[in-house]
Amino acid sequence: MLATRASTAKRLARSFATAIDTKASGVKVAAVDNGQPTTAVTVLIKAGSRYQPSPGVAHVLKNFTFKSTAKRSTLGTVRESELYGGVLSASLSREYLALTTEFLRGDEAYFTSLLASILATTKFLPHEFSEYVLPVVRDESMHASHVPSTLAIEAAHGLAFRTGLGAPLLAGAHSHVSLDSVKEFATSAFSPSNIAVVGTGIDSARLADLVDKALAETPLPSGSSSLSTPSSKYFGGSARIDSHSSDQTVFIGFGTTAPSAALSVLATHLAPPSALKWPSVPRSSTKLTPVYIPYSDAALAGVLIQSPDVKSVTEAAKSIVEKLKKPLTAEQLRSAVSRTKLDAAVTAESREGTALALGKKVFSSADASVESTLAALDKVDAATISKTVSELTRETPTYIAIGDVSALPYVDEIGL
Amino acid sequence: MNALGPSLAPYVRSSRTLKKWVAPLAQWYANLMGYRKMGLKYDDLRTFLLPSSVCITAAAHEVDFRARGITRSSKEYYDRVYRMKLSAHQSVLHKPLPKEQWMSANEVFRYLKPHIVGVLEEETERAAWDTMTVQRK
């Protein structure tokens, strides 16, 4: 068994030994090829919601991607990509805006030139803004505001980090975003130093070549990006949001300015995900979800508790705080570490996880390979965890309560 | 036959003698039509037919694709609605506007034309994409 484990590690190391190519255009490119039949090219841009100059601009820009460019109209982009059988998508996180194209091997030239034309020559037409983009933005914001777990995490970020990472991810119902602000944000975000092109299922040198050719035809706005973000500081606080949805939701969390493996192990320990799909009959209606969200210079960790009635939420919250204050037994530590390692490996083997890991490697030149993550998790022991807990409890916790506000507990009532 | 109709105007504009003779005639006719006395531009007269099967509370631009061009510039839409309101009031009074408020000859009359041309191009492109045949090389 030890022998097979060693060979797995070697195979992983080979596939992640990628070079980062920097071509004349200034855009960094990295790719991994594991022989899969489809290719995915992702452009990661440091234009997440933490860099936006005013609320909602990043969300609108994410919806404005893949619209009319100098060469193709919106309809032309969609129809031509459909003819190739490709899938276009854009996603926004607090740090990155990711434009992804997934397609069969052999169609790389078209899709890289499409991505380059989107970055360099999007027209930002006013009628597309009002007819195509704004309705989708409003819809996404409205849907997100009706999901208690999303609402809890958003509120937690706002309380924990205030500016930068605490800026709202989506454009709220009342934030007015003008077309000019989106254009300005796009021009400053799409500069070569801000962009990383990441590929899976394609050779690194070939991708760099294609990107170079595409950007030679449609050059990016030159000059360094003028986007800046304040370095993160953790504040914490508590918020109570009245809501009539069926789930009473409580989020108990802590933030730090340094993501660490111990923090992710702690989150898994506090709310251990079940190894069986249906662990008991009847199933408990209280749902506990561990939350660990690392960023480049901060992390938010905690537990999300959801249940239809307030009493079970209060009991679950109190038991979690008690668990937090008790030191871990060896068995608890081992199961938490194993489960965290599994979750990390599963994330890393997905296409999005690989793209994100490569992107982080490109931007920060840090080694973000799977083996280093797993090795860091292996080093976590009970002493590290209790040290982390004492550091966390010294700060103000982030506590969000959503639901029947008059009945849900307060921070001091659950023992924090 | 597109929504803008057939036109000899580009041919007339390209020839200098024709332009010299035809342009004053055109201006006299436009003034005779009387819409300038009501403070309207030529493209304000362009109304769009609603299909009879559609509920009458729908706005024209929501139903007729050619009318989509109207809302493509919010400033022009606002001005258009204002001029129509003004001329409707004059029609109730059965009087034209005072002379200083008449539309003058150097205003932009065909302000809807670029928007309608844009919508027509989009529709042509959509029809082309819908009816194309694909051949693998």
Q: So what's the pLDDT on residue A381?
A: 87
Confidence of residue A16 (pLDDT cuts 50, 70, 90): very low
Q: So what's the pLDDT on residue B64?
A: 60
DSSP 8-state symbol, A133: I
B136 touches chain A (CB under 8 A): no
Q: What percent of chain A has pLDDT over 70?
A: 93
Exposed (0-12), middle (13-18) or buried (19+): which is A228, by Cβ within 10 Å?
A: exposed
Q: What percent of chain B has pLDDT over 70?
A: 80
Element (DSSP H or E) covering residue A304: strand A299-307
Q: Between residues B15 and A188, which one has the greater pLDDT? A: A188
Q: Between residues B49 and A109, which one has the greater pLDDT? A: A109
Query: Residue A161 pLDDT more than 80?
Result: yes
Structure-token match 């989020």, residue found: A251
Cβ <8 Å between A126 and B72: yes
Instruction: Kindly provide the ipTM of the predicted complex, given to two decimals.
Output: 0.73
Q: How far is CA A291 from CA A117, A299, A300, in A?
A: 37, 10, 8
Q: What residues of A are in the B interface, CB distance below 8 Å?
A: 73, 75-76, 79, 83, 126-127, 130
Which residue from A75, A127, A130 is facing B129, i.e. has the nearest CB?
A: A75
Residues on chain A touching B77 (C-beta within 8 angstroms): none
Sheet holding A195-200, edge to edge: A21-22, A28-32, A195-200, A38-45, A97-104, A87-92
Q: Which of A172-176, A254-258, A355-359, B96-100 has the lowest mean pLDDT?
A: A172-176
Confidence of residue A183 (pLDDT cuts 50, 70, 90): very high
Is there a cis peptide before residue A219, judged by omega within 30 degrees of 0?
no
Q: In degrees rounded to 5, what are phi and psi of residue A398?
A: -100, 120
Which residue from A262, A294, A372 is spatially nearest to A13, judged by alpha carbons?
A372
Mark residue A124 as left, alpha or beta (left: phi above 0; alpha: psi -120 to 50; beta: remaining): left
Q: Between residues A158 and B54, which one has the greater pLDDT? A: A158
Q: So what's the pLDDT on residue A53?
A: 92
Predicted confidence (pLDDT) per residue in A333-378, tens digit: 999 999 999 999 999 888 999 898 888 888 887 766 788 888 889 8
Predicted confidence (pLDDT) per residue in A237-270, tens digit: 999 999 987 789 999 999 999 888 999 999 999 9
Cα A384 to Cα A386: distance, rounded to the nearest angstrom: 6
Residue B58 neighbours by CB under 8 Å, 6+ apart: B50
The answer to whether A91 and A59 are in contact (CB under 8 A) is no
DSSP string, A52-117: -SSTTHHHHHHHTTTS-BSS--HHHHHHHHHHHT-EEEEEE-SS-EEEEEEEETT-HHHHHHHHHH
Confidence of residue B127 (pLDDT cuts 50, 70, 90): very high
pTM of the model: 0.86
Query: Residue B61 pLDDT more than 90?
Result: no
Cβ <8 Å between B134 and A126: no
The answer to whether A337 and A373 are in contact (CB under 8 A) is no
Predicted confidence (pLDDT) per residue in A111-137, tens digit: 999 999 999 999 999 889 988 999 999
Confidence of residue A401 (pLDDT cuts 50, 70, 90): very high
Q: Which of A102-116, A217-231, A238-252 has the lowest mean pLDDT?
A: A217-231
B107 touches chain A (CB under 8 A): no
B72 touches chain A (CB under 8 A): yes
